[in-house]
């Protein structure tokens, strides 16, 4: 009896999307089907990730992706899962992936829709071999020229996103989603095979005492980041008069997931090693969707000077510096950059 009562209080992803449509009239039937297809792809990827060394897609390949990074077998499999799961539904005009150089047009054998999908199929894949949480990031844009989409069709400001989200494959498999009306987190019930709403309307605290940055790059940072992190390291003995903890997982979705649940600031700055490169993370596949989620949860996201969602992308694989999380800390480090 108790189990039956508990089950009756579960809200699935499908139910949640219907509720969102009734409240805000913002989720079309095509968009709802697209989100369901994306969530199905994340389930499949999560399954293969959970197989670990027992799975056929374990280990590295001898191939590099377009960014010069050695691909894991799961990188390739995850990319193919996303393409296959989303090409047939009739709601997409084209897709773009961090693992592919150009865009992927929906084959002529399937109908084309009015949306564009961008995704990082497996963020943090360098952690696969050591069983650390990794994830998938995705972003949905409207397509104004669905019959003949081009790379230019994708080059929209992040503020134009209609959906953004990520899945994190850890002790639980979680799906975090925003359609522009707050951020909600779903947990995969493996027995039911359903995404269950477990955290509604996540909010990031304005204040934090945790930061995430790869400190091994400290000697390469520019002055504003040096100043900001030094103040945190000085702790209660310094100008901030407070102690800070550093957390760094080297998987953006994992660090962001922690920040969504308990606050913090995540930083991946540009540095002096490659002065002409504005950062390491990809604007379209990583920074934009995560920035959309962070802002919807009450946080902030900048490239050190400008709001990430206001950036006009110049290319599909454009890189950007990233500072995101608890608003007061992001505002502080952004002020340091603007002062020079």
Helix (H), strand (E) at residue 35: helix 29-51
Look at residue 67 in the predicted model and tell me its pLDDT.
63
Q: Whose structure tokens read 């377009």? A: 66
Look at residue 313 in the predicted model and tell me its pLDDT.
97
> Does 3.40.640.10 match the CATH number of domain 210-339?
no
DSSP annotation of 121 reads E
Tokens read off for 31? 């968009």
Cβ neighbours for 134, distance < 8 A, ≥ 6 positions apart:
49, 122, 123, 124, 125, 127, 128, 168, 169, 251, 253, 254
Tokens read off for 88? 């047939």
Q: Where in the chain is the domain with CATH 3.40.190.80?
A: 210-339
What does each C-alpha distance from 6 to 1, 2, 296 come to in angstroms? 9, 6, 29
The tens-digit pLDDT sequence of the chain (340 residues) is 344 344 457 899 999 999 999 999 989 999 999 999 999 999 999 999 999 888 877 766 666 666 666 678 899 999 999 999 999 999 999 999 999 999 999 999 999 999 999 999 999 888 888 889 999 999 999 998 877 899 999 999 999 999 999 999 999 999 999 999 999 999 999 998 999 999 999 999 999 999 999 999 999 999 999 999 999 999 999 999 999 999 999 999 999 999 999 999 999 999 999 888 999 999 999 999 999 999 999 999 999 999 999 999 999 999 999 999 999 999 999 999 999 7
Cβ neighbours for 63, distance < 8 A, ≥ 6 positions apart:
70, 71, 76
Q: Where in the chain is the domain with CATH 3.30.540.10?
A: 9-199
Look at residue 69 in the predicted model and tell me its pLDDT.
67
Q: Which of 211, 334, 309, 308 is CA-nearest to residue 263?
A: 211
Q: Which of 175, 77, 75 is CA-nearest to residue 125?
A: 75
9-199: which CATH topology? Fructose-1,6-Bisphosphatase; Chain A, domain 1 (3.30.540)
> If you write DSSP's letter for every residue of 257-312 in order, what string do you get?
HHHHHH--EEEE--BTTSTT---SEEIIIIIHHHHHHHHHTT-EEESSSSBGGG--
Helix (H), strand (E) at residue 141: strand 134-142
Q: How many CA atoms lie within 13 A of 144 on its CB side?
A: 7
């Amino acid at each position: 009896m108790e189990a039956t009562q508990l089950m009756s209080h579960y809200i699935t992803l499908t139910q949640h999307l219907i509720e969102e449509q009734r409240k805000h009239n913002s989720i079309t039937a095509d968009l709802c089907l697209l989100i369901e297809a994306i969530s199905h792809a994340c389930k499949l990827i999560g399954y293969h990730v959970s197989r670990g060394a027992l799975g056929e897609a374990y280990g590295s390949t001898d191939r590099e992706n377009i960014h010069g990074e050695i691909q894991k077998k799961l990188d390739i499999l995850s990319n193919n899962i996303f393409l296959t799961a989303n090409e047939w539904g009739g709601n997409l005009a084209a897709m773009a992936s961090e693992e592919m150089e150009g865009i992927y047009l929906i084959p002529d054998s399937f109908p084309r829709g009015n949306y564009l999908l961008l995704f990082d199929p497996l963020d943090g894949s360098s952690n696969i071999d050591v069983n650390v949480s990794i994830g998938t990031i995705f972003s949905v844009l409207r397509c104004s020229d669905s019959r003949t989409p081009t790379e230019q069709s994708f080059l929209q400001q992040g503020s134009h996103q209609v959906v953004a989200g990520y899945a994190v494959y850890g002790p639980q498999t979680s799906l975090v989603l925003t359609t522009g009306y707050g951020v909600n987190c779903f947990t995969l019930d493996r027995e039911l095979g359903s995404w269950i709403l477990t955290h509604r309307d996540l909010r990031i605290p304005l204040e934090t005492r945790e930061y995430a940055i790869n400190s091994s790059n400290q000697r390469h940072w520019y002055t504003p980041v040096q100043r900001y992190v030094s103040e945190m390291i000085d702790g209660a003995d310094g100008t901030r008069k407070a102690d800070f903890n550093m957390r760094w997982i080297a998987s953006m979705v994992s660090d962001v997931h922690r920040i969504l649940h308990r606050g913090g600031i995540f930083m991946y700055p540009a540095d002096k090693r490659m002065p002409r490169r504005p950062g390491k993370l990809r604007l379209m596949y990583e920074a934009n969707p995560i920035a959309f989620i962070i802002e919807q949860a009450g946080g902030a996201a900048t490239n050190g000077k400008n709001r990430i969602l206001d950036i006009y992308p110049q290319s599909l694989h454009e890189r950007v510096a990233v500072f995101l999380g608890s608003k007061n800390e992001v505002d502080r480090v952004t002020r340091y950059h603007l002062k020079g």
